[in-house]
Amino acid sequence: MKKITVETYLKRIEELGINPNFFTSKPYLIFSGADCYEDKGYLIVKDGKWLVFPPIPTPEILTGWDYPKPYSFWSDFDNYHIKSPKFEFLDNEYFFDPKNFSDLSGGKWETFRKNSRKWKKGATNPYYSRFHKRNDVLILLAEWLEHKDKQCLDASIIVRFALTNNSDVKRAYLYDQDQLVAINIWDENYKYINYRYCLVKQGEPYLDEYARLLFYTDPEIQVKGKLINDGGTLGSKGLEEFKDKLNPVRKRKVYSWFNF
């Protein structure tokens, strides 16, 4: 087994035309501590004893499911089909077209249209910026994590996305007057923009909706021409209902697969 770079793995994903899932990005794999290897003609990603994704063949191997070892893995790809004796639901993935947020007219947008405007009406002087003060981020992040602790998949990854200097991670900051009230964080792979986190100040009704609207209508997002992978719901019925009302272009079921 030979260790390879994250870039090598992601390049092969693109060459094979595999649809990346929410966890398939250079920053996510680095921040999560996953390791990439070439193993007998297949590229794999491991996190401890787990395979994170299904093994994918190198150019020397015909595309197919011939990996010579047990192939239990955590999160599948929707267009890379495999056979395994057991699988279980992991989460949903929501895909949105940012251009759809440019026009919120019509009945299907009524709830989000109204809610996304409510926070701004009570704000004093809101502005959206790429610039921030680090101490402001630390305060908002600590408050958000304290409130969301039980729902977080991995708080350490969130902290890295919020604080680490990494050119592949993009962030935008919503201030009201001089107070930081929200942070949008995203990265991307060859096919999708991954909307990683929307961190908002607690006790601010409808701030989440307004921050999300800023993200989806951001010129930097709009010009990319990519769909947004907005991740899942982590078992939260309320979050699932919220994302359903944002009119996703697709809602995919993600599975873990087991070979034992």
Q: List, for residues 134-182, the tens digit of each pLDDT value.
A: 999 999 999 999 887 555 568 899 999 999 999 999 999 999 999 999 9
Judge if 9 and 102 occupy the same domain: no
- Is residue 102 a contact partner of residue 213, using CB atoms and an 8 Å limit? no
pLDDT at 49: 79
Judge if 131 and 160 occupy the same domain: yes
Domain containing residue 233: 93-252
pLDDT at 40: 86
Judge if 32 and 145 occupy the same domain: no
pLDDT at 81: 65
Overall average pLDDT of the 204-217 stretch = 97
Judge if 71 and 129 occupy the same domain: no
pLDDT at 259: 77
- Residues across the chain: 260
Strand order, beta sheet including 126-129: 126-129, 170-176, 179-188, 192-200, 227-229, 86-96, 250-258
C-alpha torsion 41→46→50→52, nearest 10: -90
Percent of the chain predicted with pLDDT > 70: 92
Judge if 137 and 207 occupy the same domain: yes
Q: Mean pLDDT score of the chain, rounded to an integer?
A: 91
SS3 176: strand
Residue 151 domain-assigned?
Answer: yes
Query: Closest by alpha carbon to 12, among 54, 56, 63?
Result: 56
Residue 199 domain-assigned?
Answer: yes
| Domain end call among 83, 106, 139 | 83
Judge if 70 and 124 occupy the same domain: no
| Domain end call among 20, 54, 83 | 83
Residue 259 domain-assigned?
Answer: no
Count of CB atoms situated within 10 Å of the CB of 196 = 25
Sign of CA dihedral 67, 260, 74, 94: positive
Read off φ and ψ for residue 6, nearest 5 degrees. -60, -40
pLDDT digits (tens, 9 = 90+) for 81-100: 666 668 899 999 999 999 99
> Six-digit token pair at 124?
């004093």
Per the confidence metrics, is the pTM higher than 0.95?
A: no
Judge if 141 and 217 occupy the same domain: yes
Q: Look up the CATH number of the domain holding residue 202.
A: 3.40.630.30
Judge if 118 and 213 occupy the same domain: yes
Residue 226 domain-assigned?
Answer: yes
Count of CB atoms situated within 10 Å of the CB of 81 = 10
Residue 159 domain-assigned?
Answer: yes
Judge if 22 and 70 occupy the same domain: yes
| Residue 260 confidence (pLDDT) above 80 | no
Judge if 118 and 211 occupy the same domain: yes
pLDDT confidence bin for 3, thresholds 50/70/90: very high
Total structural domains within the chain: 2
| Residue 65 confidence (pLDDT) above 80 | no
pLDDT at 19: 96
Residue 88 domain-assigned?
Answer: no
- Is residue 34 a contact partner of residue 48, using CB atoms and an 8 Å limit? no
pLDDT at 86: 86
Judge if 53 and 103 occupy the same domain: no
Residue 33 domain-assigned?
Answer: yes
Overall average pLDDT of the 97-119 stretch = 95
> Six-digit token pair at 49?
């004893």
Judge if 47 and 112 occupy the same domain: no
| Domain end call among 27, 52, 83 | 83
pLDDT at 120: 94
